[in-house]
Amino acid sequence: MAKSSLKAGDVIDGFVIGDLLHNGGMARLWSVTRPDIDFPLLMKVPRIGEGDDPAAIVSFEMEQMILPKLSSPHVPRFAANGDFSTQPYIVMERIEGASLYPWLESLPRTDREVAGLGAKIADALDALHRQNVVHLDLKPSNIMFRPTGEAVLIDYGLACHIHMPDLMAEEFRLPYGTAPYMAPEQIIGRRTDFRSDLFALGVLMYFFATGTRPFGDPQRLSGLRKRLWRDPWPPRALRPEISPALQEIILHCLEVKPDWRYRTAAQLANDLRDLSRVRLTARAERLKRDSWTEVVRRRFNPEPLGAHKPAVIAGQYADAPIVLVGIDLDTLSTELAASLRLTTQRIVEKSKGARIACLNVQKINRISLDTALDDEGRNKHVARLVQLKGWAQPIGGAEGAITYHVVEAVDPARAILDFARANKVDHIVMGARQSSAMRSLIGSVAGEVATNAPCTVTVVRNRYATAETAPRTERLDPTDILTR
C-alpha cells in the first residue's frame, strides 16, 4: 500500500527521496536520485489522503499515461512510474532553468518580449500537438525554460491524448482547468481541440502585454461562461503603445470559435517571430469592446463552436501545413517555373489553410566581398523579393497566405534546411538542377535537402529538359513585374 507520507531519506524502487520542493493542492514534488540515472530527477506524488480532491487521483492517472508517450526538448524526460497498489509516483527530469511565474512581478512587458516569449511557447505547443496531446492547463506556472532557451511545458494532469482514454471527461462533468486561461469550448466540456491551447496562449500574451487578464479570474461557472459571448477590451485600449500587429495576433488567438483562431501553433509562432509580416485586419485597430446589442445577440443566439471532432489535431495539421517553396531565380527556366507553380497551386487547393513561404537563397562568396547592387544599380535583395512576388502572383490563395523571403548564404542547401527547421516547415517544394552534367560535377542542392530535411520534400523536374536541350531560362524583370 502507498505510504501516507514520505520523508527525506526514504527509498522507493531505488529512488532516494531528497528535499520537498513543492506542496501543492493535488500533488507533492520531491527531488530524488538514483545511481543509474545521470540527469536531475523530480518525483511527483499525488495527494490521496482523507479530504483530498478525487480529481487529483484521476489527473495523476492521466499524467502517468501521457508523459511516457511524449518525446521532445519541450517536455520533461520520463524516468519511471509507480503503481497505485504500492506507491503511486512519476519520476521525471527536473528542469534546471527558470519558471515563467516570476515574470508576473514585472508586468506589463514590451512587444518584443511578449512576441519572443509567445513564439517559444508556441514552438512547445507545436511539438506537443504533433504528438496528439492537448495540454489544457497552459499558464505561467506550467511553463519553464531550459538553460538553452527552449520552453518546457510541465504538468499533464489535465491534458488529453487524442488516442487514449480521457478519464477526466469520463469521470467528471464540471470543466477542470485554470479559470483565467480556459477556452470557451473547454468550459462547455470539449477537451480534444488543440486550439484551446492557442486561446490560453492568447490570454497569457494579453496579460503580459497589458498587465491585466482579459477575462479576469472568475471563480464560478457562470463567470467562466461569460467569455462565450463577452469580448475583452482590445489590448491597445489599455496600452496604446502596443503595436497593431501584436494586438492582431492576440485577438486572433482569443476568438470564441476555434475555427476563427490560428490553424496551428506553428503558424502562430511564425507570425510572432516577425511582427512586420503579420497580415492586419480590423482586429488590429479596435479600441472598443463590442456593443451591448451585439453582446445580447450572442448571449441569446450564440454562435455554434463547431463540430466536436476527437481527431481534430491530425486533421488540422494536415489541412494547414507550412510549405516552403525554394526558388532559384538565377537558373529558373520558364518550364520549371510553371511546374513549380502548378505543384504549389495543387497544395493550396487541397489544403485551404496552407501557408506558403517562397524562399530564394542569394549565394554569396566565401572570401571576396559581394555588392548589394546589380549591374543596373538596383538593390539585389529588393529585386529578388519583387521577382518572387511576380512568380507567385498566379497561385492565388487567401490574403496573407503567401510570404516572401530572400536570405544570403554560402551554402544554399544548408540555408534551406535551417529555414525549414526554424519555421516548422511541413513540406519543401523545389526544382531539380537542369543539367545532369552539372549535377554529377557539383552535386544537387535538391538532393542534399531531400536527404537531410526534417519533413516531406517534393523535387519538381521538367520532364522534357535534358543536358543536350537546356530549357529557356525565365529572367523575371523586377521593373516589368512592378508594372503588371
Domain range summary for the chain, segments of one domain joined by +:
11-93, 101-316, 321-482
Higher pLDDT among residues 318 and 314, named by residue: 318
Residue 397 region, left (φ>0) first, then alpha (ψ -120 to 50), else beta?
A: left
At 51 the pLDDT is 55
Q: What percent of the chain has pLDDT over 70?
A: 85
Higher pLDDT among residues 205 and 301, named by residue: 205
- Residue 189, pLDDT > 70, answer yes
Task: Say how many C-beta atoms besides its own lie within 10 A of residue 278's C-beta.
Answer: 21
Residue 392 region, left (φ>0) first, then alpha (ψ -120 to 50), else beta?
A: alpha
CATH classification code of 101-316: 1.10.510.10
Tell me how far apart the alpha carbons of residues 233 and 214 are, in angstroms, rounded to a whole number: 7
Tell me how far apart the alpha carbons of residues 231 and 462 are, in angstroms, rounded to a whole number: 52
Tell me how far apart the alpha carbons of residues 21 and 458 are, in angstroms, rounded to a whole number: 50
- Residue 262, pLDDT > 80, answer yes
Phi, psi of 180 (to 5 degrees): -65, -20
Higher pLDDT among residues 47 and 61, named by residue: 61
- Residue 340, pLDDT > 90, answer no
Phi, psi of 135 (to 5 degrees): -75, -50
At 273 the pLDDT is 96
Q: What is the mean pLDDT of residues 141-165?
A: 94
- Residue 229, pLDDT > 90, answer yes
Pairing of the two strands 143-145 and 89-93: unpaired
At 478 the pLDDT is 39
- Residue 42, pLDDT > 90, answer yes
Q: Which CATH number fits domain 11-93: 3.30.200.20, 3.30.300.30, 1.25.40.10, 1.10.230.10?
A: 3.30.200.20
- Residue 28, pLDDT > 80, answer yes
At 53 the pLDDT is 67
At 436 the pLDDT is 53
Cα-based distances in Å from 415 to 24, 33, 230: 47, 42, 46
Higher pLDDT among residues 247 and 162, named by residue: 247
Average pLDDT of every residue of the chain:
84
- Residue 470, pLDDT > 50, answer no
Q: What is the mean pLDDT of residues 440-464?
A: 75
Higher pLDDT among residues 484 and 27, named by residue: 27
At 471 the pLDDT is 39
At 2 the pLDDT is 52
What pLDDT band is residue 378 in, cutting at 50, 70 and 90? low
Q: What is the mean pLDDT of residues 440-444?
A: 52
- Residue 482, pLDDT > 60, answer no
Tell me how far apart the alpha carbons of residues 203 and 195 are, in angstroms, rounded to a whole number: 13
Q: What is the mean pLDDT of residues 24-37?
A: 91
Q: What is the mean pLDDT of residues 227-243?
A: 97
CATH classification code of 321-482: 3.40.50.620
